[in-house]
Structure 1
Amino acid sequence: MNDKVRWGILGTGKIAKAFATALEDTPDAQLAAVGSRNLDSAELFAREFGGTAYGSYDDLVGAADVDLVYVGTPHPAHYENVRLALEAGKGVLCEKAFTVNRRQAEELVALAREKNLFLMEAMWTRFLPALAEVRRIVDSGEIGTVRQVNADLGFKADVGPDHRLFNPVLGGGALLDLGIYPLSIAVALLGPVETVLAHADFGPTGVDEQTGILLRHGGGGMSMCSCSLRARLPSELTIAGERGHVRMNTMFYRAQTVTVVRADGISRTVPTPYVGNGYVHEVAEAQRCWRAGLVESPGMTHADTLALMGVMDEVRRQIGLTYDADQSMTTKENP
């Protein structure tokens, strides 16, 4: 019996390569196969990282030596790709944003539960040591009751209009690609969202190029999240309480230090290094859950994913951003 968890990677893009690199650093992980709609692309990927190359997604998910499938395709393809893997009886780790809208996510969660298969959104920041340290500090009471979270993530995207970041057909825009990071941690730290207020600036391709979001959470806290494809933002996240604050430092989504600043002026910086390229922690969690026969991870539950997709649906409604997937779902419901 193979003592390793055998992964199949669906997709051969940049994020898939980063995931394959993480597998090399993850105990008990093995890259068994890679699938692409183009066999040449899959073979090139396999030569670099290993595994069997398949020239179709169907062949990949049907491979007998694949235990878990990682979906690393563009956002609008996630729904069909995840469904394909679940229908083939495979557990799935799907890259964020999980789907384009909540309705798609609900269908996939229902299918995974019906088939008793593991399914998780690959929100790698949920499993990094930096967030674990933030939770520990907050739970200790050192900064008092948390009242506010401020988070931003942005850079100047120097790519053409056909690039996935700006292409509406590929789910482009700042919200799905960048905004999900601050939103996810804000919800993780402050809990369910009660109200949403959002504004955005659109570019010539029709997607949001920068978006600002104000959330009021059920516990009384407030968060302010922003994302941009136009500006190099500080990309930090601050959690503020009555007696101080904690900052996940520059590029918070992969922070390797956390700084605590108390109201009395005392501060300290805590090292929070991660393993490999950072994706190792989510891979290890997915493997742990799959081996335990779980359908979800307690660190990134189905409810977490659905709530987050619901918040982003509301943000898109307010700023007027729609994708083809939204229209197809409407047509499906109202033939």
Structure 2
Amino acid sequence: MLKNLPTSTTSLEHMEVMRSWHKIQILPYSPSLDVVYIGTIHPYHLSTGTLFMKSKKNVLIEKPLAMNSREVQKLITAARDNSVFLMEAIWTRFFPVSLEVRRLLGQGEVGDVQMVRADLGAPLTHIPRLAERELGGGALLDLGIYCLQFIFLVFNGERPESIQATGHSIDTGVDGTVVLVLKFSGNRLAICTCSITMMLTCDAVITGTKGVIKVPHHMWCPTTLEVNGQETEFPLPEAGMPLNFTNSTGLRYEAEEVRQCLLKGTRTERESRDAVGSLQPVGRSYR
């Protein structure tokens, strides 16, 4: 969908995009579409996602999947009712580092997990979509989702027994910095810290009974993993053009996952349940 058709057309020609649309109302009825990526701001995920799924289009919706757990359930219902594919676009899940973390945990590399910590923050209050309530702003919905998805990855989707939250808001009323403490079964703990007012370490640490796994930096798009002090690099593919954001070539991992799911005819029930789980702490922290 193009808001500025002349400018956007020039950009698309540079990227060798063959076709474009300038009205979203036209898109759902295009027979040439197999899957639609929805990258609107958070408050429009439900309406836009539902629009396409009712037209029998598979959808990949940018994180967070919706504004709250109730909206997520509506999207899941729409996907089931229309027999289409639905996935939350948390690209972090498909980086080789994340896949390696799953493998290491599965084989008990660091023993039984006791504690998980994930931090992500930067001074971002100058960006309206992060700072304005009506645009779905706030640290927890935009950045905290990355930390929470890492925590749920480690605990294999288990729901926490309790959640404690603290933090502060900025002048616009959205959360500027949030700290969540999640307690899981067996007295296992997780700490999520996110902020749009300050730079944080942007790392993640898993502490087990036999060792430690670290994602030492860029935890939302990781290329480095440290296991019991030994660091391994997972280089990204070469970028074919200048990119706007860190490690953006890693988006191809997510795109390939969607392609494979569609080829196999699989649905992503697990990812949908994880989306509900990730938003559960968000909802509780706002009470």
Partner of residue 258, structure 1? 225
- Return closer, same or farther for 1:45/1:73 CA change in 2, 3 Å cut-off: farther
Q: Determine whether 1:106 maps to 2:73.
A: yes
Kindly indicate whether the alpha-carbon contact (under 8 Å) linking 1:256 and 1:271 is maintained by their aligned counterparts in 2. yes
Kindly indicate whether the alpha-carbon contact (under 8 Å) linking 1:187 and 1:193 is maintained by their aligned counterparts in 2. no
Write the distance in 2 (CA, Å) between the matches of 1:38 and 1:194: 48
> Per-residue deviation at 1:68?
0.3
What letter corresponds to residue 112 of structure 2 in structure 1?
T
Q: Determine whether 1:311 maps to 2:264.
A: no
Q: Determine whether 1:278 maps to 2:253.
A: no
Match 1:95 to one of 62, 65, 71: 62
Partner SS state of residue 89, structure 1 = coil
Q: Determine whether 1:156 maps to 2:123.
A: yes
Partner SS state of residue 143, structure 2 = helix
How much identity, in percent, do the aligned residues show? 31
Match 2:132 to one of 122, 143, 167: 167
**150-159 or 80-89, larger mean C-alpha shift:** 150-159
Write the distance in 2 (CA, Å) between the matches of 1:150 and 1:40: 46
Partner SS state of residue 131, structure 2 = coil
Partner SS state of residue 56, structure 1 = coil
Gaps of 5+ in 1: 1-34, 262-266, 318-335
**245-254 or 129-138, larger mean C-alpha shift:** 129-138
Partner SS state of residue 165, structure 1 = helix
> Per-residue deviation at 1:36?
3.7
RMSD of aligned residue pairs (Cα, Å): 1.7
Q: Determine whether 1:288 maps to 2:254.
A: no
Kindly indicate whether the alpha-carbon contact (under 8 Å) linking 2:105 and 2:154 is maintained by their aligned counterparts in 1. no
Partner SS state of residue 212, structure 1 = strand
Partner SS state of residue 47, structure 2 = helix
**Residue correspondences, number:** 274
- Return closer, same or farther for 1:57/1:41 CA change in 2, 3 Å cut-off: farther
Matches within 5 A, 1:1-335: 35-36=1-2, 39-40=5-6, 42-49=8-15, 50-157=17-124, 159=126, 163-190=128-155, 191-218=158-185, 220-261=187-228, 267-275=229-237, 277-296=249-268, 301-317=271-287
TM-score normalised to structure 2 length: 0.90
Kindly indicate whether the alpha-carbon contact (under 8 Å) linking 1:101 and 1:309 is maintained by their aligned counterparts in 2. yes
Write the distance in 1 (CA, Å) between the matches of 2:138 and 2:38: 20
Write the distance in 2 (CA, Å) between the matches of 1:168 and 1:41: 29
What letter corresponds to residue 282 of structure 1 in structure 2?
E
Write the distance in 1 (CA, Å) between the matches of 2:186 and 2:57: 37
- Return closer, same or farther for 1:109/1:62 CA change in 2, 3 Å cut-off: same
Kindly indicate whether the alpha-carbon contact (under 8 Å) linking 2:59 and 2:87 is maintained by their aligned counterparts in 1. yes
> Per-residue deviation at 1:192?
1.9
Write the distance in 2 (CA, Å) between the matches of 1:41 and 1:83: 29
Q: How far does the alpha carbon of each residue in 1:243-266 deviate from its partner, in whole angstroms, 9 at most, with x for none?
A: 2111012111111111112xxxxx
Write the distance in 2 (CA, Å) between the matches of 1:274 and 1:84: 34
Gaps of 5+ in 2: 240-248
> Per-residue deviation at 1:156?
1.3
Partner SS state of residue 186, structure 1 = helix
Write the distance in 2 (CA, Å) between the matches of 1:145 and 1:89: 43
Write the distance in 1 (CA, Å) between the matches of 2:49 and 2:27: 12
> Per-residue deviation at 1:113?
0.9
> Per-residue deviation at 1:97?
0.8
Write the distance in 2 (CA, Å) between the matches of 1:288 and 1:221: 34
Write the distance in 2 (CA, Å) between the matches of 1:44 and 1:100: 34
TM-score normalised to structure 1 length: 0.78
Partner SS state of residue 99, structure 1 = coil
Kindly indicate whether the alpha-carbon contact (under 8 Å) linking 1:100 and 1:171 is maintained by their aligned counterparts in 2. yes
- Return closer, same or farther for 1:158/1:105 CA change in 2, 3 Å cut-off: closer
> Per-residue deviation at 1:51?
3.1
